[in-house]
Each structure stands twice: as structure tokens, then as C-alpha cells.
């Protein structure tokens, strides 16, 4: 399918940037100055020559025709992806103003696009590469899975032992033994191929240094870890949905094999969290017809933006498939039927009491759940001593912000947007409080991203 | 969330507290509530804690609401057009220091365009989208020169917001009472009460607001409390009479000549001497005339100067400072002050009915020329006399980078300030055409933005010449930066020929051509950006 005639918005382009530095560098190149021979074709190719520091300008091409996301090619040496030149070119194109006229692609651009589309066509024809199990020997796959389950079981037993030792000797000793003990345990869980357990163990190591009340938090997390280990060891006796949740919490791979659900999905929020090795992108979608809120999770190695990039406030007509597990919001994006377009949809909101109750209900299906996606309607950001809360405009009830949300710049955008008046706020509501991600003014107005 | 409201029917928070205590001490030291000691005790504790944890989380409820903030006042201005709002977000995202400094490359310096953008938006009277207020306030926090236009644009909601965040306290200081505290100036009683009871900043704001609308009412208001004001305050208040100064202020200023404070006296004298019809100006004219005569004994008649021999009490009362600064002769010091304060019209009369240009062209005997011309320059600036300024500036193309009278670039810049904008631009264009850019920076700073066509052309031509001369562009980075902000965007087309990397002549600094091309690209890009900005804001 092609996207001829549909120019993207600037926000849509900027969301493709792998990091803030690229976004800034790309913005600066999004002006006509450094570009020559730029153009765009009906087939969805955008190209241009960008003056760099060398004598030869960089050749930049972007193929925007593919519904699964744009593809980039640039002759610059940057390892960022997309590079600033590709971003600048798209910004220039998105800005209109005649700097990127319609035309026929030059030889170098056309060649690359043609080659790429050919390869993509072959790949599609050769079946979906995402399901390796389809081609492999099912018997071998079963044996592999069994071996892995045995290793996880061994890891879980060992972890249970360590937790019991810890509680026998007292959490107070954990404060002295420090981070090293947990790092070692986490490494053992990685060996056991239980990434989910490893991640939780690593977080345990940090808790004793998080200030007053740490014993309570440490006991909570130890208890939930114990619950997860026990869940794994007795998974045969659990209901199927809960067993699937346990498997995914442990870190076993799963595929999105739920039935495809087609809807107009509104992009509620997109944000990235990064550690040294990996960038994780979370995109919350709201189905205009199904009224479901679902989560797209994607990963990128450091320096590369996870795909896809979906700007807040746009809607895409697409199919999504759920991952297994009771109450899991995670889905995989299937076929897209049209490029993202602005829409006036807003999610329906609830009161703070309903939001808290919703979290409580969700714990029934997944007791390890940190938070649930909720839209609050008619709440007023309200200062509460040295913190903030979202107070119902019409009831005497309020949800406090999470500690992390209090220090984000998005808080002040939210306060400014509200100006003391009620706003609608989408965010994550959990036991630490509410983390606002997107807000809408009470009257007409666009969605304002807060993260 | 509200930890204190325990879930309904919980076996009391005590159960959980007991679990935490046991976990902290260890099951070896303290038994688990509801379980015996033994090897199974830790597992029993963890089981119980898991149940309690999930139970506590599932039972969470909202807290009581704190006192809600008072709503922000309405902003009646129309909202920004969407394209302009996007542009603003882009300008604000370009914070200096984020990219780590260094060479600027061919990309425009977006933050430098913010002042222009704000001026245009304020001229059109748009209100900002509320969600950009934090970024605007942060920008103004780092740059004091941005504060007035930012606060004007940001409007009442920004002040509301600033009360909630100590980082933005400057916004409350900069706008006492948010500008809204000034009463209707027609309401005499309120004005009088604010004048008598207000804080210093409020009173200064009130006085200048009143002065800009009804100059004599402001002066009368000041006179009501003049005698009881402190000396520093008297000085500040007197200074606010500078705007809207007129002959009717003379009586008030004349009595301030007898003030206890020397600084107040000096300011009063300075203001009076800017009124050519005032009695003080007349007295100064008499004194100055006595020192200057035409010496007809020479072959070409020259101006002869006989500086005063003493500084009498009358002179001191009229603001002449008796003590000369170190290194200056006191007679020439006194003489300079007399000429500076005398009305310029005096000289045509005294020196034979000639035009300022003829007078300035006359030779001056005994090396007094520098002193005399410098004093005339100061007088021309003080009295805003365009004709004398023109004469003292001379021809911009005159050799040795100066007219007959002008002494320093700073003085020339001030003289240019008395001319009409077009004439000013033309003079500076002529100066640059002859003398190049190395001394033009200060003069360019007084020219109206955007630069008039001849001036813009002169600057671009001079940059082109500088490039061909083979030096590096950063010797001209100051002028380049000014050009990016001040050149008329419609001139961008004239730069097209300069964007390519030229062939390097042998004498050139290595690589200079590439850097020049980059600088010109940045200039052209910035101009296009400014044109787009103006269009988005619907500027005429």
C-alpha cells in the first residue's frame, strides 16, 4: 500500500528518533539550508542530498510506503538509526513549503527502494519468519522446552532456598550484605534462563538503599518473588490463564497467538525506559470500538530506537493479537490497514475510586501487577505538602502521584494544562500511586504527552 | 496511596506489622505469627507475607483530597495558530549546552530566534498553549533578557504556575502583582493611596505608568511626597521623569537643583540642560559662549577656546562637577561640562550664523578640537539634535574611519541614535562599504531590525570580501550572528551564490572556504526560518 499524498506531522517524524540528541540534531537539519536535490515520489520514497562536514554530500533515502514502518538508507557513517539526516529529511518533507517537491526518484534512490521491496516481497512470500517453531522438528522443540523448564525449576528451587535463608537470618542483615549478594543470585537466575526472576532479584538489591520504610518494601518484594517461585513449581495445578501469567513473569518466551482484533487504535502514550544494554518502549493503545486498552512492548539495543514509533493522539486502523496470560494487556501489532491519522477520539474516564478498584480487581488475575492503565476523568492536579495528587473534581478523593512522576517535567505540563481546572488524564495506576502519561483539557484540545 | 485506610475486614494492620518485625529480626530469633518455630518457619512467613501483600495492594483506596488550587485567571487572548505553536515548541527544545558547545555548523541557532519570535507573537497578541508554559519559564529563568517578553507572552497563567514552583519565583518578582495590581490611572484616590503606601517597586511602576500617559500628573504626584523621600528613592523617581520630559517640568527640576543629595542635583541639571529653553540651559549658554570665540587673526578663521579659570558656586549649583577625574586638567573638565549643557543653537549665533556642518569643519586653535567636539557630541545626544549629529558624524566614507568630530565608535553609535532609522542604516552602510566590518559591530547594534535594504546589502558584500581575503569566518562571528537575527529575510536569495565552497586561493587559511560556505548556509537557513516564523504568526 502507498501513502501518497499523506504528509506526516512533525511529531510523527520526531517520534522516530532513537534518542533526544538525534531528535535535536534532526530538527536542525529539518530546514532547507543543507539539502539539495530533495524530492518525494508517488510511490512513497523521499530522498535528498545533505551537506555534511565532508566534500561529498550524504545520500539519504527513506521509504515510507511500507505500512510496517519506514525504512532508511543514508551514506553517512552514523550508527544511530535512523540517523539525523533521515530525520531532517523527513522533517523537511513533513513541514511542506516546497523544499521537497514531488518528482521522480533519481537512480541511486530508486535502486535501493526497488531492491528493498523485492527482498521484503520474498520474505513475505516465504512465510512469516517470526515463528521458527513452524519449520523445526516439533519433537526437538518439545525436548528443548522440557530441558529449559528443568533448568528454571532448578533455579526456582535455589531461589526459594535463598529467600528462606534470608528470612531465617533476618532482613536486617540484608542491609549489611549489600548489593553483591543479590547480583550473584541474579546471575544464577540468568544461568537458569529465568530472566524474569533475575530482574526481580536485581531490584531486591536496591531496596535497602531506598530510604525509610525499606523493610516493608523488601518483605513485599521477597514475598511476591516467593509467590512466583511457588507458582512455577506448582504450575500444573494452576488455572491455565494464571499458569500462562506465571510463565511470562518468569521470563519464558511466548507468542501472541490470541485471535486478531481489528479496531481503530488511538495512541494514548509512548515512552521509553533504558538500561545499559536495552531500550524498552511501551505504547498504550485504546480501541475506539472495543474500548480496550492494550500495550505494545518493543525493544531496541542501545543507540537504536525500538520500532514502531507512534505519536500520541494519532489513530491507526489495525489488528492486534494478545499474548497469553489472564488479564495481560500486552499485544502484538498485526496488519495495519491505513497509516496513522489524527483523530478526535478520547478514552472514557473514571473516578479515582473506580481506578483504585480496577487495580485491585486486576491483581486477582496477576498478583505481581505493578499498575493498570486507567483514564481518570475530571481530576485536578493538586499540591499536597511536598508532593502532588490528582483530586476528583466532584468527590473528596484523590490518587497521589508516584515518586517518579513527581520529578518528571511532565508534571508541570500537566499542572499548566489544568490551571486549577479539571482535566482528563491517562496513566498507570498502581500501589505506588498514579503515573500520568497523557492529558486532555476539559474543553476541546489536543492530547498533551506528559512522558 | 493511602496506607492508613486498611482494607475492609482486615485482621488489623497488626498482622502485617508482626510479619515485618519477624522478617527483620529473622525467624530464628522471633516466631512467625500463626506458625510454630522450626525449619518450615521461613516458608510460612513468606506465604503469609505474600497473602498480606496482595491483600494490602488489592484493598488500596484513594486518599482524601488536599485543598485544591484556586483556578488560574482566564487569558482572553486568542490562541496561537497551530503551526506557530509547533515552531515555538521547536525553538524551546533547542537549549544551549545540550549539544555540548563547539562549532556551530550550518544549522541555525534556534534559541537566538526566540526573542524575535516572542516580539512578533506579543505584537499580534496571541496566548500560548498552556502546556508550553513550563518550558517558557525555564528558558526565561536562564536568561534574564528573555524575562520581560516571556512574561508578557506567558500571561496570567504563568504567574499562577510560578506560585507553585520555587524555580520560577523570578516571575513573581519581575511582575509585581503580575502587572494587574496597578489601579486605573483615572482613579485618583487609589493612585494616591498606592503612591503613599505601596512598596518601592510598585511605586516606581505606578510613576512610570502614569508618566507615560499623563506626564504632568506624574510629576505632581511625585511633588506631593518629594520632601520626605529618601535620597536613593528621589534619584530613581527623578530619573523616571526622563520619559516625556517637557518645558512644564522646569520649575520642579529647578527646585531639585537645590537638593541635599549631589546625585539628585546632577540628574536635575542634566534633565534641565536637555530642555534648550530652560533657564539653566540659558545660564550654561552664557558661560559656554564666554569661553569660545572666532579667532580672525589667522589666515583661515579658527575657533579659539579660553577655558574657565574657576568653578564658581553658581556653576556648581547648575550641576557642574568641580572636581576633575584623575589625569584631567580641571579647566578643560569644567569647559567640557559647560559646552555639553549649553543648547546647541547657541553656537550658530555665537559663531556667525553658520550651519552645524560649517561650524564643525572650522579649525580649532591650540589643540582644543578634541575637547570641543567631544562635548558637542554629548550635547547632540542629550538634546537629540539630528542636524548636529549628522555634522559630527561626517561622511561615513571619510578616511581614518571617522568624521571630523566623532571620537570613538561608542560615541558614533550614540549619535546615530538621534537619526531617523533609514538615515542611520544608510550611514552605517556607507561606513561598512569603506571601512569593512571589523569596527562595525557596535554601529550595527543601533540599527533598526530588520535591516534596511542598503545596509543588508553592504553587510553581505563586506562578508563576501572578507571571505575572498582568505581569513576564517569566526573573526566575523559577531557580525554573522547579528546578520542571522537582523538581516531582512527577503534578502536570503542574495546569498545563493555564496553557499558553495569556493576554490581556495593560495593565500587563504586552510579550509576557510568550507567554513565560510557553512556560515553562509547557516545565515540563509536562519533567514528562511525567520520568514517561516513570521508567516506562521500571520505577521503583515
Q: Which of residues 106-125 of B touch A (CB under 8 A)?
A: 106-108, 110
**B70 touches A: beta carbon within 8 Å:** yes
Q: What's the confidence (pLDDT) of residue A7?
A: 67
Contact B252, B219 (CB under 8 A): yes
CATH class of residue range A352-449: mainly beta
B263-308 confidence digits (pLDDT tens): 899 899 999 998 888 999 999 999 999 999 887 777 777 888 888 9
Q: Domain locations in chain B?
A: 12-58, 82-88+110-179, 188-275, 292-402, 420-540
Mean pLDDT, residues A31-51 taken together: 82
CB spacing of B161 vs A223 below 8 angstroms:
no
Q: Is the pLDDT of residue A132 over 80?
A: no
Most confident by average pLDDT, A53-62, A366-375, B183-192, B529-538: A366-375
Give the Cα-Cα-Cα angle B163, B168, B169 (nearest 5 degrees): 65
Q: What's the confidence (pLDDT) of residue A392?
A: 95
Q: What's the confidence (pLDDT) of residue B99?
A: 41
Cell numbers for A141: 522443540
Most confident by average pLDDT, A60-69, A434-443, B528-537: A434-443
- Pick the closest to residue A238 from A367, A369, A370 (CA basis): A367
Distance of CA A197 to the CA centre of its chain: 21
d(CA B106, CA B480): 12
Q: What's the confidence (pLDDT) of residue A163?
A: 92
Q: With cut-offs at 50, 70 and 90, classify the pLDDT of residue B198.
A: confident
Percentage of chain A exceeding pLDDT 70: 91
Percentage of chain B exceeding pLDDT 70: 89
Q: What's the confidence (pLDDT) of residue A290?
A: 93
d(CA B219, CA B224): 9
Q: What's the confidence (pLDDT) of residue B401?
A: 47
Report the residue of B53, B110, B162 to disrupt the A interface, i.e. the one with the largest count of A CBs within 10 Å: B53
Q: What's the confidence (pLDDT) of residue B39?
A: 73
For β-strands A293-301 and A330-336, DSSP reports them as: parallel
Distance from CA of B40 to the nearest CA of A (A): 9
Q: What's the confidence (pLDDT) of residue B176?
A: 46
Better pLDDT: B493 or B62? B62
Burial grade of B70 (CB within 10 A; 0-12, 13-18, 19 or more): exposed
**A222 touches B: beta carbon within 8 Å:** yes
Measured between beta carbons, the chain A residues lying within 8 angstroms of B26 are 167-173
**A171 touches B: beta carbon within 8 Å:** yes
Output the DSSP codes for A359-406: HHHHHHH-TT--EEEEEEEEEEEEEETTEEEEEESSSS-EEEBPHHHH
Distance from CA of A414 to the nearest CA of B (A): 7
Q: Is the pLDDT of residue B97 over 70?
A: no
**A397 touches B: beta carbon within 8 Å:** yes
**B250 touches A: beta carbon within 8 Å:** no
Better pLDDT: B107 or B334? B334
Q: Is the pLDDT of residue A183 over 50?
A: yes
Option in A170, A391, A441 nearest B26 (CB): A170
Of A37-41, A202-206, A408-412, B509-513, the poorest mean pLDDT is in B509-513
- Pick the closest to residue A432 from A182, A284, A220, A178 (CA basis): A220
Find the closest chain A residue to B19 by CA distance.
A219
CB spacing of A164 vs B46 below 8 angstroms:
yes
Q: What's the confidence (pLDDT) of residue A5?
A: 45
Q: What's the confidence (pLDDT) of residue B183?
A: 63
Q: With cut-offs at 50, 70 and 90, classify the pLDDT of residue A303.
A: low
Cell numbers for A372: 493498570
Distance from CA of B466 to the nearest CA of A (A): 22
CB spacing of A169 vs B532 below 8 angstroms:
no
Report the residue of B17, B65, B84 to disrupt the A interface, i.e. the one with the largest count of A CBs within 10 Å: B65
Distance from CA of A283 to the nearest CA of B (A): 22
Cell numbers for B220: 505632581
Q: Which of residues 2-61 of B touch A (CB under 8 A)?
A: 19-20, 23-29, 41-43, 45-47, 49-50, 52-54, 56-61
d(CA A215, CA A210): 10
Bridge partners of A58, per DSSP, are: A50
Q: Is the pLDDT of residue A361 over 80?
A: yes
Q: What's the confidence (pLDDT) of residue A342?
A: 83
Q: What's the confidence (pLDDT) of residue A23?
A: 77
Q: Is the pLDDT of residue B9 over 50?
A: no
Mean pLDDT, residues B499-524 taken together: 77
Q: What's the confidence (pLDDT) of residue A374?
A: 96
Q: What's the confidence (pLDDT) of residue B5?
A: 40
Q: With cut-offs at 50, 70 and 90, classify the pLDDT of residue B46.
A: very high
A380-397 confidence digits (pLDDT tens): 999 998 899 999 999 999
A107-128 confidence digits (pLDDT tens): 888 888 888 877 776 655 554 4
CB spacing of B42 vs A163 below 8 angstroms:
yes
What mean pLDDT value characterizes chain B?
Answer: 84
CB spacing of A363 vs B130 below 8 angstroms:
no
At B265, phi and psi to the nearest 5? -60, -45
Distance from CA of A33 to the nearest CA of B (A): 5
Residue B488 Rama label (left phi>0; alpha psi -120 to 50; beta)? beta
Q: What's the confidence (pLDDT) of residue B37?
A: 66
Better pLDDT: B32 or B257? B257
Q: Is the pLDDT of residue A76 over 90?
A: no
Q: Is the pLDDT of residue B38 over 80?
A: no
What mean pLDDT value characterizes chain A?
Answer: 86
**A409 touches B: beta carbon within 8 Å:** yes
B351-397 confidence digits (pLDDT tens): 876 889 888 888 888 888 888 988 999 999 988 899 999 988 888 87
Mean pLDDT, residues B25-32 taken together: 84
Q: Is the pLDDT of residue A199 over 50?
A: yes
**B323 touches A: beta carbon within 8 Å:** no
Q: Is the pLDDT of residue B522 over 60?
A: yes
**A303 touches B: beta carbon within 8 Å:** no
CB spacing of A219 vs B19 below 8 angstroms:
yes
- Pick the closest to residue B69 from A219, A379, A449 (CA basis): A379
- Pick the closest to residue A389 from A416, A424, A352 (CA basis): A352
Q: With cut-offs at 50, 70 and 90, classify the pLDDT of residue B399.
A: low
Q: What's the confidence (pLDDT) of residue B71?
A: 94
Q: With cut-offs at 50, 70 and 90, classify the pLDDT of residue A6.
A: low
Grid-cell match 539525523, residue found: A84
Contact A382, B66 (CB under 8 A): yes
Q: With cut-offs at 50, 70 and 90, classify the pLDDT of residue A304.
A: confident
How many Cα atoms are found within 13 Å in the side-chain-facing hemisphere of B102? 6
Q: With cut-offs at 50, 70 and 90, classify the pLDDT of residue B158.
A: very high
Q: Is the pLDDT of residue B47 over 60?
A: yes
B408-431 confidence digits (pLDDT tens): 778 888 889 889 999 999 999 988
Mean pLDDT, residues A168-175 taken together: 83
Q: What's the confidence (pLDDT) of residue A67?
A: 61
Cell numbers for B42: 521461613
Mean pLDDT, residues A103-109 taken together: 85
Report the residue of A97, A412, A450 to disrupt the B interface, i.e. the one with the largest count of B CBs within 10 Å: A412
Using DSSP, state whether B96 is helix, strand or coil.
coil
Measured between beta carbons, the chain A residues lying within 8 angstroms of B527 are none
Q: Domain locations in chain A?
A: 10-123, 145-250, 261-342, 352-449
For β-strands A278-287 and A261-274, DSSP reports them as: antiparallel
Better pLDDT: A409 or B509? A409
Q: What's the confidence (pLDDT) of residue A405?
A: 93
Option in A397, A412, A420 nearest B70 (CB): A420
Amino acid at each position: 500500500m502507498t501513502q501518497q499524498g499523506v504528509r506526516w506531522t512533525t511529531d510523527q517524524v520526531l517520534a522516530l528518533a532513537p534518542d533526544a540528541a538525534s531528535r535535536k540534531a534532526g530538527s536542525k537539519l529539518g530546514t532547507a539550508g543543507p539539502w539539495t536535490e530533495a524530492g518525494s515520489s508517488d510511490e512513497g520514497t523521499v530522498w535528498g542530498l545533505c551537506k555534511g562536514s565532508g566534500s561529498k554530500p550524504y545520500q539519504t533515502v527513506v521509504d515510507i510506503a511500507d505500512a510496517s514502518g519506514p525504512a532508511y538508507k543514508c551514506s553517512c557513517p552514523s550508527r544511530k538509526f535512523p540517523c539525523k539526516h533521515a530525520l531532517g529529511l523527513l522533517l523537511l518533507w513533513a513541514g511542506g513549503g516546497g523544499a521537497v517537491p514531488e518528482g521522480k526518484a533519481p537512480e541511486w534512490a530508486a535502486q535501493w527502494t526497488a531492491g528493498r521491496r523485492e527482498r521484503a516481497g520474498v520474505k513475505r512470500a516465504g512465510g512469516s519468519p517470526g515463528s521458527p517453531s513452524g519449520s523445526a522438528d516439533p519433537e526437538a522443540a518439545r525436548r528443548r522446552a522440557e530441558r529449559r523448564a528443568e533448568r528454571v525449576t532448578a533455579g526456582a528451587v535455589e531461589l526459594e532456598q535463598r529467600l528462606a535463608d534470608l528470612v531465617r537470618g533476618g532482613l536486617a542483615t540484608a542491609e549489611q550484605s549489600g548489593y553483591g549478594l543479590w547480583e550473584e543470585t541474579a546471575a544464577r537466575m540468568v544461568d537458569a534462563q529465568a530472566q524474569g526472576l533475575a530482574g526481580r532479584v536485581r531490584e531486591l538489591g536496591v531496596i535497602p538503599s531506598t530510604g525509610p520504610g525499606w523493610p516493608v518494601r523488601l518483605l513485599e518484594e521477597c514475598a511476591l518473588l516467593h509467590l512466583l517461585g511457588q507458582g512455577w513449581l506448582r504450575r500444573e495445578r494452576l488455572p491455565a490463564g494464571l499458569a500462562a501469567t506465571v510463565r511470562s513473569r518468569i521470563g519464558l518466551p511466548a507468542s501472541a497467538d490470541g485471535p486478531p482484533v481489528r479496531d481503530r487504535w488511538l495512541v494514548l502514550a509512548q515512552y521509553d525506559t533504558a538500561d545499559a544494554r536495552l531500550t524498552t518502549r511501551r505504547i498504550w493503545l485504546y480501541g475506539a470500538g472495543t474500548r480496550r486498552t492494550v500495550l505494545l512492548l518493543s525493544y531496541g539495543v542501545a543507540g537504536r530506537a525500538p520500532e514502531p514509533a507512534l505519536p500520541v493522539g494519532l489513530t491507526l486502523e489495525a489488528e492486534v493479537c494478545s499474548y497469553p496470560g489472564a488479564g495481560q494487556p500486552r499485544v502484538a501489532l498485526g496488519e495495519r490497514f491505513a497509516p496513522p491519522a489524527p483523530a478526535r477520539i478520547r478514552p472514557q474516564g473514571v473516578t479515582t475510586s473506580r481506578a483504585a478498584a480496577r487495580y485491585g480487581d486486576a491483581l486477582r488475575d496477576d498478583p505481581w501487577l505493578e499498575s493498570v492503565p486507567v483514564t481518570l476523568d475530571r481530576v485536578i492536579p493538586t499540591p499536597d505538602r511536598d508532593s502532588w495528587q490528582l483530586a476528583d473534581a466532584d468527590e473528596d478523593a484523590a490518587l497521589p502521584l508516584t515518586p517518579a512522576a513527581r520529578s518528571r517535567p511532565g508534571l508541570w505540563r500537566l499542572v499548566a494544562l489544568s490551571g486549577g481546572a479539571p482535566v482528563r488524564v491517562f496513566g498507570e495506576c498502581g500501589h505506588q500511586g498514579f503515573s500520568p502519561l497523557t492529558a486532555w483539557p476539559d474543553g476541546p484540545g489536543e492530547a498533551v504527552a506528559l512522558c | 496511596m493511602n496506607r492508613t485506610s486498611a482494607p475492609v475486614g482486615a485482621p488489623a494492620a497488626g498482622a502485617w506489622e508482626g510479619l515485618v518485625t519477624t522478617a527483620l529480626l529473622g525467624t530464628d530469633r522471633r516466631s512467625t505469627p500463626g506458625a510454630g518455630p522450626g525449619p518450615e518457619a521461613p516458608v510460612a512467613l513468606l506465604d503469609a507475607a505474600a497473602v498480606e501483600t496482595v491483600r494490602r495492594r488489592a484493598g488500596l483506596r484513594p486518599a482524601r483530597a488536599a485543598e485544591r488550587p484556586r483556578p488560574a485567571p482566564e487569558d482572553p487572548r486568542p490562541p496561537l495558530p497551530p503551526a506557530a505553536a509547533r515552531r515555538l515548541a521547536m525553538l524551546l527544545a533547542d537549549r544551549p549546552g545540550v549539544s555540548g558547545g563547539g562549532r556551530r555548523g550550518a544549522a541555525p541557532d534556534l534559541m537566538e530566534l526566540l526573542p524575535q519570535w516572542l516580539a512578533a507573537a506579543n505584537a499580534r497578541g496571541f496566548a500560548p498553549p498552556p502546556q508550553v508554559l513550563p518550558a517558557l519559564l525555564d528558558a526565561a529563568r536562564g536568561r534574564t533578557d528573555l524575562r520581560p517578553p516571556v512574561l508578557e507572552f506567558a500571561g496570567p497563567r504563568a504567574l499562577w504556575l510560578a506560585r507553585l514552583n520555587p524555580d520560577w519565583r523570578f516571575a513573581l518578582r519581575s511582575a509585581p502583582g503580575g502587572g494587574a495590581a496597578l489601579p486605573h490611572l483615572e482613579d485618583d484616590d487609589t493612585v494616591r493611596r498606592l503612591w503613599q503606601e505601596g512598596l518601592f517597586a510598585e511605586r516606581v511602576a505606578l510613576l512610570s505608568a502614569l508618566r507615560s500617559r499623563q506626564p504632568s500628573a506624574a510629576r505632581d504626584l511625585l511633588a506631593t511626597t518629594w520632601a520626605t523621600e529618601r535620597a536613593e528613592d528621589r534619584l530613581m523617581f527623578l530619573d523616571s521623569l526622563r520619559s516625556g520630559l517637557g518645558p512644564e517640568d522646569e520649575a520642579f527640576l529647578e527646585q531639585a537643583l537645590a537638593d541635599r543629595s549631589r546625585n539628585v542635583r546632577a540628574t536635575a541639571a542634566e534633565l534641565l540642560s536637555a530642555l534648550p529653553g530652560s533657564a539653566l540651559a540659558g545660564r550654561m549658554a552664557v558661560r559656554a559662549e564666554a569661553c569660545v570665540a572666532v579667532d580672525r587673526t589667522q589666515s583661515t578663521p579658527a575657533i579659539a577656546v579660553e577655558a574657565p579659570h574657576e568653578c564658581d558656586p553658581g556653576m556648581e549649583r547648575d550641576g557642574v562637577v568641580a572636581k576633575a577625574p584623575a589625569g584631567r586638567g580641571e579647566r578643560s573638565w569644567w569647559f567640557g561640562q559647560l559646552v555639553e549643557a549649553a543648547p546647541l543653537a547657541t553656537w550658530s549665533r555665537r559663531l556667525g550664523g553658520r550651519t552645524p556642518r560649517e561650524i564643525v569643519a572650522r579649525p580649532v586653535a591650540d589643540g582644543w578640537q578634541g575637547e570641543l567636539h567631544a562635548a558637542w557630541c554629548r550635547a547632540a545626544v542629550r538634546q537629540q539634535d539630528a542636524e548636529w549629529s549628522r555634522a559630527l558624524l561626517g561622511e561615513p566614507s571619510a578616511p581614518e574611519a571617522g568624521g571630523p568630530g566623532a571620537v570613538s565608535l561608542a560615541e558614533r553609535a550614540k549619535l546615530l541614535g538621534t537619526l531617523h532609522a533609514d538615515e542611520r542604516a544608510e550611514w552605517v552602510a556607507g561606513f561598512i562599504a569603506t571601512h569593512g566590518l571589523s569596527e562595525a559591530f557596535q554601529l550595527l547594534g543601533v540599527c533598526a531590525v530588520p535591516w534596511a535594504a542598503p545596509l543588508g546589502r553592504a553587510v553581505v558584500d563586506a562578508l563576501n570580501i572578507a571571505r575572498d581575503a582568505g581569513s576564517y569566518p569566526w573573526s566575523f562571528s559577531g557580525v554573522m550572528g547579528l546578520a542571522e537575527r537582523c538581516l531582512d529575510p527577503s534578502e536570503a536569495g542574495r546569498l545563493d551564490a555564496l553557499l558553495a565552497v569556493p576554490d581556495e586561493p593560495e593565500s587563504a587559511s586552510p579550509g576557510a572556504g568550507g567554513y565560510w560556505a557553512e556560515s553562509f548556509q547557516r545565515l540563509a537557513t536562519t533567514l528562511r526560518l525567520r520568514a517561516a516564523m513570521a508567516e506562521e504568526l500571520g505577521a503583515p
